[in-house]
Amino acid sequence: MSRVGKLPVMVPAGVDVLVQGDQISVKGSGGALQLKLNSLVSLVNDAGKLSFKPINDSRAADAMSGTMRQLVSNMVVGVTKGFEKKMSLVGVGYKAQATGTKLNLSVGYSHPVNIDMPAGIIVATPSPTEVVVKGADRQRVGQVAAEIRAVRPPEPYKGKGIRYADEKIAIKETKKK
């Protein structure tokens, strides 16, 4: 059995987990998330302790039990604490400004780039060269951060562009004569 799948998911106080058929809903102070359960995995809710077991001994069911366990664990963490991605803008004149559900980027193009945030995602700019993406759904937070980074990915010679705060860029050496 999957090592991750063996671990139970502890549901903290203030979080409601509801299983209806093949849907699981998690509600907390940070919002509400839903997920469709895979047919290869059975879920047992034992007084705030969620256990995932594969239906049969197949390799796919074993792998899916660990995957479902981690997805539900991320849902529980998302509705309690939430997830965030920090990004930084590196380059002369590069700046970002968050207004409501929009992010306005000036990153060296002839025009500003406006990005609309989907529902459930909050964007903040503590300084003009920092962007923080927050939300309850880990996948959506990562996807929005990747879309922001794709506007101007870091280039390998000077390192200019939009990068994650913890990202290391390998700077290439320029050609020598």
Average pLDDT value over all residues in the chain: 92
Q: What element of type H or E holds 155? A: none
Of 13-22, 113-122, 131-140, the one with minimum mean pLDDT is 13-22
Class of domain 3-80: alpha beta
Helices (H), 19-58: none
Same fold: 3-80 with 83-164: yes
Q: Which pLDDT belongs to residue 40?
A: 92
Residue ranges of domains in the chain? 3-80, 83-164
pLDDT exceeds cutoff 70 at 21: yes
Partners of 134 in the beta sheet? 84, 122
CA distance 65 to 6: 8
Give the CA distances from residue 26 to residues 1, 50, 73, 83, 89, in Å, rounded to whole numbers and listed in that order.
25, 12, 10, 15, 35
User: Can you give the pLDDT at residue 1?
Assistant: 59
Distance (Å, whole) CA 135 – CA 157: 33
Q: Has residue 2 got a pLDDT over 70?
A: no
> Quick one: CATH architecture of 83-164?
Alpha-Beta Complex (3.90)
What are the tens digits of pLDDT across the range 33-90?
999 999 999 988 888 899 999 999 899 999 999 999 999 999 999 999 999 999 999 9
